[in-house]
Amino acid sequence: MDTRFLGRVDYVPTYEAMQLYTEQRHAEKITENTIENDTQPSYLLPDALLICEHNPVFTQGLAGKVEHILNAGNIPIVQSNRGGQVTYHGPGQVVAYPMIDLKAAGYFVKEYVYRIEEAVIRTLLHFGVTGHRVAGAPGIYVRLEDPFSHALLPQRPQKHSTEEINFTGLGKIAALGIKVSRHFTYHGVALNVAMDLEPFSRINPCGYSGLQTVDLSTIGVSCSWDEAAGVLSQKLVSYLAT
């Protein structure tokens, strides 16, 4: 996987570059019947992983509802084609965009999401933090009272329950939103490291009213953006490999 550290970049040009890269991979696909002694498709452009941070921006997913943006103020809103609702990107957040061929990798979207989340969980563990999944709410969460506790969360929601997801005592530390186009992926995951969290109060993060958002800094972990970016990129490359 070709890993590229972009530094701080605007969201829209990065989004457009991901789209263009994916379109080029479609265009450069060599059909199976032109490959001798090989039944696997081949591509001139390799799988890639973009690591960056963005200037302040709210991004809406395809299912995004305007009512989840409470007060954008002077922060721009960008409509994207990823899944999910509204989220915020800003300095101090590591954003990772895996662009891989799921068909060649040999697994499906559900496992792809699981692997991304596992990479985030292992990244947090590197810093002593225990990350948790919450059923029905993609992303990674931490216990606000004790983010270093290894105790499992009770399943949320409970099996066979029709109740809304209960986020009591949890803070969201990583948000996930992906796009899969003819088995090629783009968009990805954002891990909060040390950022101004105030803009999250201007939205219902990921469409959940009252959901608290945290970063490594607010739960007592001191690390640089570069350190967190390095660990997350390594974990993503490892867990997304076939």
User: What is the token pair recorded at 87?
Assistant: 């989220």
Type of residue at 98: P
Q: Burial level of 66, CB count in 10 A (0-12/13-18/19+)?
A: exposed
Phi and psi at residue 17, in whole multiples of 5°?
-65, -40
Nearest-angstrom CA–CA distance, 61 and 148:
31
Distance of CA 79 to CAs 13, 174, 196, Å? 13, 20, 22
Nearest-angstrom CA–CA distance, 174 and 205:
11
Nearest-angstrom CA–CA distance, 18 and 182:
14
Determine contact, residues 100/90, Cβ cutoff 8 Å. no
With left for phi above 0 and alpha for psi between -120 and 50, is residue 121 left, alpha or beta?
alpha
Residue 206 annotated to the active site:
yes
Instruction: Calculate the dihedral angle through the C-alpha atoms of 89, 91, 94, 96, rounding to the nearest 10 degrees.
Output: 50
Nearest-angstrom CA–CA distance, 11 and 30:
31
Q: Exactly one of 206, 211, 219, 232 is catalytic; which is it? A: 206
Q: Which residues have a catalytic role annotated?
A: 206
